[in-house]
Structure 1
Amino acid sequence: MLSKLKTETKKGGHCTKKLLTKWKSSDLNLKLGGAKRKLENQIGIEKKRRKICEIECAKKKDVIKKLERQNKQIAKKLVNKTKRQLRKQGSKKYAKRHIKYMKKNLAETANATVSLLQSLDLKVTTLCLADKFGNKVELKCDSDIQKQNKITVEKALYLKDTLCISDRSYKQLSKNCNQLPRLKNVRKCSEEINSMFSIYTFDDMIGAWEPLNNKITFLIDQISKDKCDDPIPNHIGIKISGDGTRIGKRIHCVNITFRVIYGNYLSDEQILAMVRKPEKYKFLCKIFNPIVANLINTITINNNNIPLKYYLGADMKFLNEMMGMGACSSKYSCLWCKCPSNERYIHTKIWSMTDTTQGARTVDEITKLSSQSKTKNMSCVAPPILPFISVSNVIPDPLHLFLRISDQLVLQLIQILRHKDNVGKNVKVVDMSKCKNISAFEHFINSLSIPWSFYTTKESNQIQFRDFTGPEHIKIQKNINFDTLISWHPKCDCIKWLWEEFTNIISLMKTDGVDPQVVDTRARDWVCNYSKTFQAKDVTPYMHVFMNHLSQSLTLHGQINNFSQQAMEKLNDKITSLFFRSSNHRNTEAFVQVMQKQNRISYLNKLCKDDIKFYVNCKRCGQVGHNRRTCQQNQL
């Protein structure tokens, strides 16, 4: 065969192919080895045996399935017979599930009968219950034990949300405490409350928002029902505010809120939007466009159309961005008037926020000037975001007025102490023990139990310090002693008068029925003495507002404590804690979860605030209502 194959391959063409096809078609008995032939025969026999076994196994499986079905049917019949026999014997041998069902029905009937008898001014002493088998049970109803109020689902949800209790831990608590409702009922209640509020997301930004119209109507309806006995006010105020904050170290967030001023009643701070963007004009435009769309101007209460007045209140940075103004460091930084930065210290000149002849701005004027060049626009960079709010309804924040001016007073005092110790701005300090005056001030602050100290940076080794909070400023102003700190300074009495007079003006501003003219004269005298004690360039934009526009806002709006940003700052702290403790940290989804939780807390606060109260005990004085940092007692 090999010789034939060689000859055909030498011929070429299709000869070899024809020979191979001929061999394949013909039955040729090739001479293979004996062992190989035997193995091939055995493989064929084993394949036939395997097929026979598979067929038999399939038949046996069918038989086993039939037998299992028959066994199940027999077991069901036996169980039903035993159940019938047990039911005939008595209720003690019922199933556990059926016993729970019977107990629940008995408890419901007992509660219904007790409530019915109590409505008829009848006291229940004993209850005698009997089932269909004749088993009797007597229950004693004492006056103290008669009303065991179980915690409602709303109260449980309010506690769960405010304390940030997870579902897993609440489930374990509800199993061990019978007074707590089950987790499925609490979840159902939270879903029902979430359905009351419509939360949307942005397409090109990470964040969530709610329409202002829906929130206003929902909140005013609740307030009008609670205040149905009070007279309806002539108008209802809506204060819109916002602030930029940091959630952690890397997440820059803008929170938009509003409050309802219903006569003398002031609602809680309600959240409108949360966006992961910095506090800039172009982002604020995108945030407010859907929120303020189709805004209502009137609302009906008891068939009376009540007008709505919109206000804007925040810190200076946010207000300038909202009104299209430049930064606070620009030449014409004031959004109420056209006062230049080099004339802020002049206390004799009057700058008005309503009279255009005395430099007052208007919304139309800001929009016109924003289209002009930088030399002519007077720091009007863009048109206002909310043009329906007039400049007179933009109210300065009393909280930031107090904080920023207090910061300047502390800063001037520290500069005096540094100058005495020969420590300038660019001086690198290694040993702080050599700076006696600075260390004396640090010791004074620490004696008030305020965690504060000077520190040096690793890069430049220059002295730096943090700003004080509001309670810390109040504590410092009450306990500071200039005779021990700067008795050697020639202007010690003037600095002491500035500190005392500033606290007096702030307390006078907070009193009801204050005369704005008195506040105006005292504020002007204060700024005049400040510019003489220090320098004219040290008069900040907040001091200009304190001197010119604080008394004018008091005459226009009365008490301006309703427009304070204290609730907004507290809400920022709540939102950061809710973000880390009650969300999945996944961008937009996390913001939606935080807004839903904050809406639930604000909704349930009215229902549960009388029954559930959270107390804070001070570790220093032991009193209730404040903590160690806000305690006003001096450390001994």
Structure 2
Amino acid sequence: MRVFDVLLRNLIDDAAEKDDRAAAVGNKTDYLESLVKSIRSCGVSFNIWTPKSGRCERDWTSLRGDDMKKIMKNLPEKLMFCIHNNTHDQTVKLWNDFSLILRLINSPAVELKTPEFVFNMCKKWASDFIEIGKERNGYRPENITPYIHTLVYHIPFYVSNYGQIRKFSGQAVEKVNDSIKTIYQKKTNKMDCTIDTIKVRKRIENLCSEMERERRNYVKKNDDWWEHHIRVTRAQKKENVSKEIQAADEKFHVSTVNFRQLIFINRRGC
């Protein structure tokens, strides 16, 4: 996710730089706005604003989880005219390659690959990142973060020894932490809160250990349903309803405007 944040920041800086150059010569400055619209068209809520504190020039919506996956999958093909043309193809390739790496290291297929294969794949991506830095400031060697270093020099070791990187997800730990904070905030007596929280957690584990619902088998039939097809289906339903209303109006020779006028007249008559 941190690497994704770097890529997203560079896109925003790229579009903002285009706006600055356009403003300098008196042209229209809507590149950053176009980028925001492109991100929103991927099905996520996103905005950019100027913080009142003045600690930075701009800030934007933090994207996580499913939103990040939607952006990684759909945004690269929508970057035309949002960022500089001379590095557009390189930037799109960088995003697509990172998405490919992310899917690989989080899938069981990575266990069939050698560490050298994963390392060369990640190293090539980092080299492409720095190559764009010859034209764009956000991709220079000093912008290589510890997370990018970890991706190149440590992830291949982990996946070769332990398999897919999903095993190291801290989501379960974060969930327990949220539960503990919720318990603490709801208690009126906060003395020895640590001990009380541990007791409550253990009590919940003992009570729920034999009553947990068994996970049912589920086979995903369509991977693109929640990202694409569901929106198409809903749009089709709305279109069908509109057609049925129009057909009913034509059948009874009543237009929408006349029907509303008829209701208004009837109400006045009452």
Any conservation in 2 of the 1:583–1:594 contact (CA below 8 Å)? no
CA offset digits 1:140-163 (Å, max 9, x no partner): xxxxxxxxxxxxxxxxxxxxxxxx
1:584 aligned to which of 179, 188, 191: 188
- CA spacing shift, 1:592–1:583, aligned 2, 3 Å: farther
Any conservation in 2 of the 1:482–1:496 contact (CA below 8 Å)? no
Q: CA deviation at 1:575?
A: 3.0
Partner of 1:570 in structure 2? 175
Which blocks of at least 5 consecutive residues in structure 1 are unaligned?
Answer: 1-402, 424-433, 614-630
* Partner-residue secondary structure (3-state), 2:112: coil
TM-score, normalization by structure 2 = 0.66
| 1:403-414 correspondence to structure 2 within 5 Å | 403-414=1-12
Partner of 2:85 in structure 1? 489
Any conservation in 2 of the 1:445–1:452 contact (CA below 8 Å)? yes
Q: Distance in 1 between matches of 2:103 and 2:213?
A: 30
What amino acid sits opposite 2:91 in the alignment? I
RMSD: 2.9
Partner of 1:214 in structure 2? none
- CA spacing shift, 1:585–1:537, aligned 2, 3 Å: farther
**Larger strand proportion of the pair:** 1
1:450 aligned to which of 26, 44, 55: 44
Any conservation in 1 of the 2:15–2:83 contact (CA below 8 Å)? no
- CA spacing shift, 1:602–1:519, aligned 2, 3 Å: farther
1:540 aligned to which of 139, 145, 149: 145
Q: CA deviation at 1:485?
A: 4.7
- CA spacing shift, 1:462–1:548, aligned 2, 3 Å: closer
1:464 aligned to which of 23, 41, 59: 59
What amino acid sits opposite 1:507 in the alignment? R
Q: CA deviation at 1:435?
A: 4.6
What amino acid sits opposite 2:159 in the alignment? L
Partner of 2:206 in structure 1? 603
Match status 1:555 vs 2:164: no
What amino acid sits opposite 2:88 in the alignment? C
Any conservation in 2 of the 1:446–1:452 contact (CA below 8 Å)? yes
TM-score, normalization by structure 1 = 0.30
* Partner-residue secondary structure (3-state), 2:63: coil
**Larger helix proportion of the pair:** 2
Match status 1:521 vs 2:117: no
1:510 aligned to which of 86, 103, 106: 106
| 1:219-298 correspondence to structure 2 within 5 Å | none
Q: Distance in 2 between matches of 1:612 and 1:566?
A: 18
Match status 1:593 vs 2:196: yes
What amino acid sits opposite 2:6 in the alignment? Q
- CA spacing shift, 1:599–1:465, aligned 2, 3 Å: same
Identity %: 22
Q: CA deviation at 1:612?
A: 10
- CA spacing shift, 1:595–1:530, aligned 2, 3 Å: same
Q: Distance in 2 between matches of 1:574 and 1:449?
A: 30
CA offset digits 1:208-252 (Å, max 9, x no partner): xxxxxxxxxxxxxxxxxxxxxxxxxxxxxxxxxxxxxxxxxxxxx
Paired residue total = 206
Q: CA deviation at 1:440?
A: 1.9
Which blocks of at least 5 consecutive residues in structure 2 are unaligned?
Answer: 22-27, 134-139, 217-225, 236-270
